[in-house]
């Protein structure tokens, strides 16, 4: 492990107990290993979120560039939505 620096973090009693329990159970050699794995998971999750945001921005721009959808009939949309919901509920009930 290159360039290891020590830092101090504040944890709740429950969090510290969970760290120690993982070490005591042999899942990890040290509490530092648990924290490093948690940080790797957080970094991955953060990267995936950033990818999602980039993709949504791209899709938004494509939608804007595609032009207007035209006039919308809100009453007809509500009727269609209610009909779809009703059919979905019926399918769910039939599946039970």
Which contiguous run of DSSP H or E holds residue 68? none
What pLDDT is recorded for position 1? 60
Could you tell me the CA-to-CA distances from 70 to 2, 42, 59, 78 in Å, in that order? Answer: 58, 42, 19, 17
pLDDT over 70 (residue 58): yes
Reported residue count of the chain is 96
pLDDT over 90 (residue 2): no
What pLDDT is recorded for position 26? 97
What pLDDT is recorded for position 14? 97
For residue 16, count other CB atoms closer than 10 A to its CB. Answer: 13
As a whole number of angstroms, the distance between CA 17 and CA 41 comes to 20
What pLDDT is recorded for position 8? 93
pLDDT over 90 (residue 47): yes
């Amino acid at each position: 492990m290159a360039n290891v620096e020590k830092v101090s973090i504040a944890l709740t009693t429950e969090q510290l107990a969970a760290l120690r329990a993982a070490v005591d159970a042999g899942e990890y050699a040290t509490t530092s290993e648990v924290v490093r794995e948690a940080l790797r998971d957080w970094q991955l999750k953060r990267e995936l979120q950033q990818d999602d945001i980039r993709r949504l921005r791209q899709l938004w721009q494509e939608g804007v560039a595609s032009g207007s959808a035209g006039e919308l009939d809100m009453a007809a949309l509500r009727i269609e939505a209610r009909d779809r919901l009703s059919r979905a509920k019926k399918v769910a009930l039939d599946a039970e």
